[in-house]
């Protein structure tokens, strides 16, 4: 079976390609022109198509003659890019993939799409657990483009009987990334830029912005610190982290399952992880100082993987402790079965 992977140079794409090749699949990958990670992809031994996702004809060619498509390519955040560019890559790119699938000279057996838990609007303080049937209410353009793409897949399923499969990822980490989280600069990015951008309504309440900025300013005095973030009452922030190896195992289950057609699955780690616990683990295994940060609000949510467990037999193996031990081994130069980010 020949599988096309868009976004093959990313942490998920490269590791998926690596595992598919080990299982005997043929792999073709789409990589954007000038991607500095192209040598990493070449070393995998896959067929490479260099194409921008908004270049319809090039994407049609990449899709032609494959048995399955795993569409991972996306513009994650605006950064120096525009919201228009994000829509081009994410939404228009998905449309081009779907058109490429229906135009292919070989019948495509399945089209897998990488959605996001951000479309659920996970910026909550009420310890919500999100299931696949939870209303999707995007709070930013990235999540909106992912929801638009999901609706495109369902439309192509209805119109062309295209066998589509949707996967919703959370925070996927790989290599030594488990040791590199929760710097004060990360908190600063969210509080002072993402969540309180000019004209934007802070999801946690405008009345808490000043106190939040004060807490961040204090944390920034220790730039190398690892932030153990809690609310004013000491309740830890928390969210699900997923080891890339679990993500890849889940994708392969979706790819190979006939029962996955027309379905959406949350492919996330075992459970939500408290930030305080993560901070303690990182501080204990690095030279970064442990830093208690009290914010004026709680951010904690979980994403259920029960449906993936029940239908696919998905069994995420890696807790944060496991990820951290693998990260330490990775830094020692040991082979942990992961393609570097």
- Structural domains of the chain ordered from first start: 2-174+240-270+301-320 (3.40.50.720), 177-238+274-294 (no CATH)
- Which residue reads 């040598």 in tokens? 39
Backbone angles phi, psi at 308, to 5 degrees: -65, -40
pLDDT band for position 10 (50/70/90)?
very high
Q: Which range has the worst mean pLDDT, 54-58, 82-86, 93-97, 143-147?
A: 82-86
Rounded mean pLDDT of 155-172?
A: 97
Could you report the per-residue pLDDT of 316-337, keeping only the tens digit for each?
999 999 999 999 999 999 999 9
Evaluate if residue 78 carries a pLDDT over 60: no
The dihedral formed by the CA atoms of 61, 67, 68 and 73, expressed in degrees to the nearest 10: -20
Evaluate if residue 79 carries a pLDDT over 80: no
Q: Which residues contact 340 (CB under 8 A, 6 or more apart)?
A: 40, 174, 175
State how far the Cα of 251 lies from the Cα of 168, in Å rounded to an integer.
Answer: 10
> What's the chain's average pLDDT?
95
In the chain, what is the greatest distance between 2 CA atoms, to the nearest angstrom?
60
Evaluate if residue 155 carries a pLDDT over 90: yes
pLDDT at 80: 64
State how far the Cα of 97 lies from the Cα of 94, in Å rounded to an integer.
Answer: 5
Rounded mean pLDDT of 253-282?
A: 96
Percent of the chain predicted with pLDDT > 70: 99
Rounded mean pLDDT of 241-257?
A: 98
pLDDT band for position 341 (50/70/90)?
confident
């Amino acid at each position: 079976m020949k599988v096309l992977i868009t976004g093959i140079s990313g942490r998920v794409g490269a590791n998926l390609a690596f595992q598919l090749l080990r299982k005997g699949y043929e792999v073709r990958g789409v990589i954007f022109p000038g991607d500095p990670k192209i040598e990493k992809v070449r070393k995998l031994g896959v067929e490479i198509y260099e194409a921008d996702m908004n270049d319809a004809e090039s994407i049609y060619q990449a899709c032609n003659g494959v048995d399955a498509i795993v569409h991972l390519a996306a513009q994650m955040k605006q950064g120096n890019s525009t919201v228009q560019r994000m829509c081009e890559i994410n939404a228009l790119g998905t449309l081009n993939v779907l058109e490429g699938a229906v135009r292919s000279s070989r019948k495509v057996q399945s089209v897998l799409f990488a959605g996001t838990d951000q479309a659920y609007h996970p910026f909550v303080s009420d310890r919500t657990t999100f299931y696949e049937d939870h209303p999707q209410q995007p709070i930013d353009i990235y999540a909106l483009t992912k929801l638009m793409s999901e609706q495109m897949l369902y439309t192509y399923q209805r119109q062309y009987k295209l066998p589509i499969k949707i996967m919703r990822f959370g925070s996927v980490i790989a290599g030594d990334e488990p040791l590199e989280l929760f710097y004060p600069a990360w908190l600063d990015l969210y509080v002072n830029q993402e969540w309180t951008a000019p004209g934007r309504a802070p999801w946690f309440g405008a009345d808490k912005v000043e106190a939040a900025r004060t807490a961040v300013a204090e944390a920034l005095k220790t730039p190398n610190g690892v932030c153990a973030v809690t609310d004013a009452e000491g309740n830890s922030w928390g969210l699900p982290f997923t080891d890339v190896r679990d993500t890849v195992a889940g994708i392969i289950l979706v790819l190979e399952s006939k029962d996955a057609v027309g379905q959406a699955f949350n492919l996330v780690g075992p459970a939500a992880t408290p930030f305080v616990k993560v901070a303690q683990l990182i501080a204990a295994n690095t030279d970064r100082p442990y830093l208690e940060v009290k914010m004026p609000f709680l951010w904690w949510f979980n994403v259920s993987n029960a449906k993936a467990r029940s239908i696919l037999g998905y069994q995420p193996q890696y807790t944060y402790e496991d990820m951290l031990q693998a990260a330490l081994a990775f830094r020692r130069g040991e082979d942990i079965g992961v393609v570097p980010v």
